[in-house]
A and B are shown apart, each in its own frame.
Chain A
Amino acid sequence: MSWMYDWWISLAKALGLPDSYQYAFVARGVVAVLLLAPLLGGLSHLVVARRLAFFSTTLGQAALTGLTIGVALGLPLDNAYASVLGFCLLIGVVMVYVRRTVALPPDTVIGVFMAFTLGLGVCVLVAATKQFNIHQIEAVMFGSVLTITDRDLLLLLIGGAILIVALALTYNTLLADSLSPSIAKARGVNTALVDYGFVVLLTIAITLSLKVIGALLVEAMVVVPAASARNLARDVRGYLGWSVAIAAIAGLAGLLISASWRVPTGGAIVLALTACFAISVPLGRLRR
């Protein structure tokens, strides 16, 4: 990954940014954000189209619970991807199954699972804190560039590339199913497979992005870019373009704010995203 760091450091010098922006951890954060932006921005507009914003929040909470379960089972705190991914996949798939099976509004079903993951997370957390300092998981809760390693970036690069290819191959089916499952089903689409498949993709993306954005704030990265893009876009092409651009701009801005003022990366990125949304509202009105 060194060529990426070298690229950022030379860019930071060319832009006249202070020396603090040329540190290796900032360079790693920039690379992580640039890898995450097309992935989360691309996912973002499908999450909003499929009305899975609340669902994503619950997956973020489940990630935290998955982490504490992993630590309680003896996994190292900085390398608990297996337990996070495993627990999130379990919760995601069961949530889709229950949502498809019971005659209740989707947000009610998701609310039940959110309460469950929170309750379980708190109980396991208290039990697991005998093994580590609770402040150590702040990085996973709120995101931190300081804890990103080369291995995380490599995972993000490979996992992100696979997810983007999978999304591109299934994009038309996913969007058609979001617009009208009954028409999609009549055309031979297996809507159940689409439902479960998208949740698996979303879960993997959330797991990959945890170290940068944090479990509690990951929802913002998969909802706000699309919400802002919707104010600006006139068609699906623009919707995707704006979502990715806003994810990248807010990600980089949040990272630089975080490095300058020593605030959690996730929180800073969310603030930058919210600012983008605030700007998009009047801009969107002007464009109409």
Chain B
Amino acid sequence: MSKPVTIDVANVTIRRGGRIAVDGATLQITQGTIHVLVGPNGAGKSTLLSAILGQIAFTGKVDMTFRGSGVIGFVPQTFVADRTLPITCAEFLALSRQKRPACFGITKPAAALIAKLLERVGLAGFEKRRIGELSGGELRRVLIANAIDPAPEVLLCDEPAAGLDPTAAEELDKLLLGLRDEHGTTIVLVSHDREQVKRIADRVTRLEITVKATGKPDEVPL
């Protein structure tokens, strides 16, 4: 029996700055799979991700069907925050993990959870490091740590491997596969990394403004 559909994208068209960024995209993302969006720059991959998240206007329909927690995790391609803001990695992660205002300190349970999360993304001991002092790859790993707790039912990642060294990229693959296999997380990934796509993708969609092809990794030109 085939798995149920978690995200149903039907005839989605997105206009941005007077041009069509995505034209009539239709695709179905099944529960508990890793679905990778590939395509050249400007093909509309990140834009489509934003539409799935409901963050931009579009025509057509996006239906998300939740069967569990309904938690959505998101790893953005860019982090717009002012990098001079004095906020540590622990404080950033505490913002959505405790009720106490982060400016009044981090609670013990939150601190323990944050330490584990940072360890999972290979940043053990980074609690007191300021977000603005992190390298691009380190910042990306903090964003991944933020997105994977609580274990999301749907995880949307916009080029999460960009800026990661090969070891960290491999660790990321393990993390994503673990989420899929242990928690049944449905993962939508934008990626330019062909090797990563071959390693972890269950399904691939090639987008070039319109959907050019959808299928298994060996069926779609990467």
Q: Do the beta carbons of A182 and B76 come within 8 Å of each other?
A: yes
Q: Do the beta carbons of B103 and A236 come within 8 Å of each other?
A: yes
Contact with B along A167-194 (1 / 0, CB 8 A): 0100111011011111101111000000
Q: Do the beta carbons of A187 and B72 come within 8 Å of each other?
A: yes
B53 nearest in chain A by CB position: A186
Let me know if A21 is at the binding interface, CB within 8 A: no
Given known pairs A172-B102, A185-B53, A237-B103, the reply for A49 and B85 (CB within 8 Å) is: yes
Give the contacts of B38-90 with A (CB-CB under 8 A). 50, 53-55, 72-74, 76, 79-82, 84-88
Number of interface residues of B (CB under 8 A): 36
Q: Which one, B27-35, B91-99, B116-124, is touching chain A? A: B91-99
Residues of A close to B96: CB separation below 8 A: 172, 176, 187
Given known pairs A179-B85, A235-B91, the reply for A186 and B104 (CB within 8 Å) is: no
Residues of A close to B94: CB separation below 8 A: 172
Contact with A along B133-170 (1 / 0, CB 8 A): 00000000001001100000000100000000000000
Q: Do the beta carbons of A179 and B92 come within 8 Å of each other?
A: yes
Residue in A183, A185, A240 whose beta carbon sits within 8 Å of that of B146 in the complex:
A183
Number of interface residues of A (CB under 8 A): 28
Give the CA-CA distance A178 to B82 in the complex, in Å. 9
Let me know if A13 is at the binding interface, CB within 8 A: no
Residue in A103, A183, A235, A239 whose beta carbon sits within 8 Å of that of B74 in the complex:
A183
Let me know if B198 is at the binding interface, CB within 8 A: no
Give the CA-CA distance A180 to B87 in the complex, in Å. 13
Given known pairs A186-B73, A236-B87, the reply for A172 and B53 (CB within 8 Å) is: no
Give the CA-CA distance A128 to B84 in the complex, in Å. 45
Give the CA-CA distance A234 to B82 in the complex, in Å. 14
Chain A nearest Cβ from B144, distance in angstroms: 11
Chain A nearest Cβ from B13, distance in angstroms: 18
Residues of B close to A180: CB separation below 8 A: 76, 79-81
Secondary structure type dominating chain A contacts: helix
Q: Do the beta carbons of A236 and B102 come within 8 Å of each other?
A: yes
Residues of B close to A240: CB separation below 8 A: 103
Residues of B close to A188: CB separation below 8 A: 72
Chain A nearest Cβ from B196, distance in angstroms: 22
Residues of A close to B103: CB separation below 8 A: 171, 236-237, 239-240
B76, B80, B85: most-surrounded residue (chain A CB, <10 A): B85
Residues of A close to B98: CB separation below 8 A: 172
Q: Do the beta carbons of A186 and B72 come within 8 Å of each other?
A: yes
Residues of A close to B99: CB separation below 8 A: 172
Give the CA-CA distance A94 to B17 in the complex, in Å. 23
A173 nearest in chain B by CB position: B95
Let me know if A51 is at the binding interface, CB within 8 A: yes
Let me know if A230 is at the binding interface, CB within 8 A: yes
A–B Cβ pairs within 8 angstroms, 22 of them: A172-B94, A172-B96, A172-B99, A178-B81, A179-B87, A179-B92, A180-B80, A182-B55, A182-B74, A182-B76, A183-B143, A183-B146, A185-B53, A186-B72, A230-B85, A236-B86, A236-B91, A236-B103, A237-B104, A238-B86, A239-B86, A239-B103
The 5 closest A-B pairs by CB, nearest first: A186-B74, A171-B101, A240-B103, A179-B81, A176-B95
B residues contacting A by CB (< 8 A) are 17, 50, 53-55, 72-74, 76, 79-82, 84-88, 91-92, 94-96, 98-99, 101-105, 128, 130, 143, 146-147, 156
A residues contacting B by CB (< 8 A) are 49, 51, 103, 168, 171-173, 175-176, 178-183, 185-188, 230, 233-240
